[in-house]
A and B are shown apart, each in its own frame.
Chain A
Amino acid sequence: MKYIDEFRDGGLARSLGAAIAREARAERRYSFMEFCGGHTHAIARYGVTDLLPANVRMIHGPGCPVCVLPVGRVDMAIEIARRPGVILATYGDTMRVPASGRLSLLKAKAQGADVRMVYSTADAVRLAEENPGREVVMFAIGFETTTPPTALAIKMAEAKGLGNFLVFCNHVLTPSAISHILESPEVRELGTVPIDGFVGPAHVSTVIGSRPYEFFAEEYQKPVVIAGFEPLDVMQAILMLVRQVNDGRAEVENEFTRAVTREGNAKAQALVAEVFELRREFEWRGLGAVPYSALRLKEKYAAFDAERRYGLADRQVADHKACECGAILRGVKQPADCKLFGTACTPENPLGSCMVSSEGACAAHYTYGRFRDVSRKAAAAAT
């Protein structure tokens, strides 16, 4: 398809790889974090790692909404779905996320809860229209890309006078998560890795623009290159990061100019600002409580807020003991370092959230990289 295939050209990828190898200085190491799961997926699927020199290493970041959603919030969604008369509408990604007591939304559905997968928030509003006697709750998750559609759905329900449409809001913010990785003492205590720069979000940046990263590049002296989700975009961004590090620069550069501007989408930003406000803090899997990192509905839209209507309180639930999702989300461990990886925990039967979504580091590595590990080990044993 146009604007996709050209950005996956193998020949160009090899020459970009050669350029990175030429320009990366042999005497130093480069560690870059790709924040987004979309980049993690592209790196695994297209074997980008194999095109990079040994001293350039990519660290997977926490930018996978399904992965960072803590068990407690999934438990709350199941509790909502089990309320009599409720239809829980959800994006497909959340269906298999493990919750407490070996449950998931999929299993709750099998046990009789009315959980419906929707493609769009508009479908959830339609469900509310078609089922006036039921309450339809949208399980709203995601970063800045899915937030404007949730805001639109609330406005649409308001305009149509739908009193039976509600939102269980779990929207989280990218810039606060990036800062948290670098500055939080808890995260430092839990363990982090040195990061020389960031591959910045693609589609999130179409909405918020490149400006929000400027403070961050300046304050923490880390280069950021916003990149599209295709493999050539990622490789070009890595080359730009290598150049910034070599020159001692820490700037925000934009590789994804075909879709991202400095200002972003003003219309979408205005909608979000009208409907949502910051939460004081929000729990992230792997990062703990991150201040001002998530949104909730403003008082004006309280009637649409499932947490308020049902009087739901936050709860803290520990992850599976052997699960390394937390450390993997901070970039400290690789999927293959986890004892459960590929044995007890697989995409068909995930124990940890990073194995659920195709953007999760574990699912991406399981699908595209696990045999490479095997052949590497075999080669090492043979020598």
Chain B
Amino acid sequence: MCLALPVKIVELTDGDQAVVDLGGVRKEISLALVEGVALGDYVILHVGYALTRLDPAEAERTLATFAESGLAEPASA
């Protein structure tokens, strides 16, 4: 129910609408719930609406954290 996917905005159309690319599938979605989304941005798509913009820099940081966590030495026992 709360499932949502990161999708890329490939076209801004009339009003609050946009076309997104979902692994090769193009679909029209609504941007009525978000502000300042630009062409090429990634958004989190849920039941036809973008819920929020995805922050690529934060995504990179999180991936780096995973790698660090895995390598980290044991905390003081």
A interface residues (Cβ-Cβ under 8 A, vs B): 1-4, 6-7, 9, 12, 14-16, 18-19, 22-23, 25, 36-38, 63-66, 91, 93, 119-123, 141-143, 145-146, 148-149, 152, 201-204, 206-207, 229, 232-233, 236, 239, 243, 246, 255-260, 265, 267-268, 271, 357, 359
Contact = CB atoms under 8 A, between A and B. Distances in A.
A359 B3 contact: yes
Contact of B1 (A2, A19, A143): A143
Contacts of A22: 74
Given A152-B33, A203-B2, A265 B52 contact: yes
Measured as residues with beta carbon below 8 angstroms from the partner, the interface class of chain B is 35 or more
Interface of B: 1-6, 8, 22-23, 30, 32-35, 42, 44, 46-49, 51-52, 54-56, 58-59, 61-63, 65-67, 69-72, 74-75, 77
A121 B62 contact: no
A121 B30 CA distance: 11
A148 B72 contact: no
Given A14-B70, A66-B1, A122-B48, 6 more contacts: A2-B8, A12-B70, A121-B48, A233-B62, A236-B66, A256-B62
B72 A19 contact: yes
A259 B44 contact: yes
Given A37-B1, A149-B48, A258-B55, A12 B67 contact: yes
Contacts of B77: 25
With most chain A CB atoms within 10 A of its CB, the pick from B4, B22, B34, B35 is B4
Contacts of A143: 1-2
With most chain A CB atoms within 10 A of its CB, the pick from B1, B46, B56, B59 is B1
B6 A4 contact: yes
Nearest to B55: A258
Nearest to A21: B74
Contacts of B8: 2
Nearest to A26: B77
A359 B58 CA distance: 27
Contact of B42 (A3, A207, A232, A243): A3
Given A19-B70, A37-B1, A258 B62 contact: yes
B72 A2 contact: no
A152 B32 contact: yes
A23 B77 CA distance: 8
Contact of B44 (A1, A203, A357): A203
A16 to B, nearest CB: 5
Given A257-B61, A258-B62, A359-B1, A152 B6 contact: no
Given A16-B70, A268-B33, A357 B1 contact: yes
Contacts of A152: 30, 32-33, 49
B66 A37 contact: no
B66 A232 contact: yes
Contacts of B6: 1-4
Contacts of B42: 2-3
A120 B49 contact: yes
Q: Which 6 A-B pairs have the closest CB atoms?
A: A15-B70, A120-B48, A3-B6, A258-B59, A258-B58, A257-B58
Nearest to A25: B77
Given A121-B47, A259-B52, A268-B51, A229 B3 contact: yes
A359 B52 CA distance: 22
Given A15-B70, A19-B72, A37 B2 contact: yes
B13 to A, nearest CB: 14
Contacts of A123: 48
Contact of B34 (A120, A267, A359): A267
A145 B46 CA distance: 8
